Structure 1
Amino acid sequence: MPAVVVLSAIALPLSPVSRPAFAHAHLQAATLADKATIKAAPEAITLRFSEGLSLALSGATLSGEDQSEIGLGEARLSDDGKSLILPLAAALKPGTYRLDWHVLSVDGHKTKGTTSFTVAP
Structure 2
Amino acid sequence: MRNILLAAAFIAASAMLSSTACAHAHLEAAQPPINGTVKDAPTELDLKFSEELNLKFTGVNVTGPDKKQVKTDGDMLMDGDKTFMVDLPAGLAAGTYKVEWHALSRDGHKTHGDYKFTVKP
- The TM-score range, normalised by the shorter chain, is 0.7 to 0.9
Per the TM alignment, residue 104 of structure 1 is displaced from its structure 2 partner at its CA by 0.3
Aligned residues with identical type, % of pairs = 40
Which structure's CA Rg is the greater one? Answer: 1
Q: Normalized per residue, which structure has more helix?
A: 2
**Aligned residues of 2:63 and 2:70 also touching (Cα < 8 A):** yes
Long gaps (5+) in structure 2:
none
Matched length: 113
Deviation string 1:42-85 (CA, Å, 9 cap, x unpaired) is 22110111110000000000001232101011210005111000
2:49 maps to 49
2:63 maps to 63
**Aligned residues of 2:97 and 2:118 also touching (Cα < 8 A):** yes
**Aligned residues of 2:42 and 2:90 also touching (Cα < 8 A):** no
- TM-score normalised according to structure 1 size: 0.82
Structure 1 segments, 4+ long, off by >4 Å, are none
Secondary structure in 2 matching 1:17? helix
Secondary structure in 2 matching 1:56? helix
Long gaps (5+) in structure 1:
none
Question: What residue identity is the alignment partner of 2:30?
Answer: A
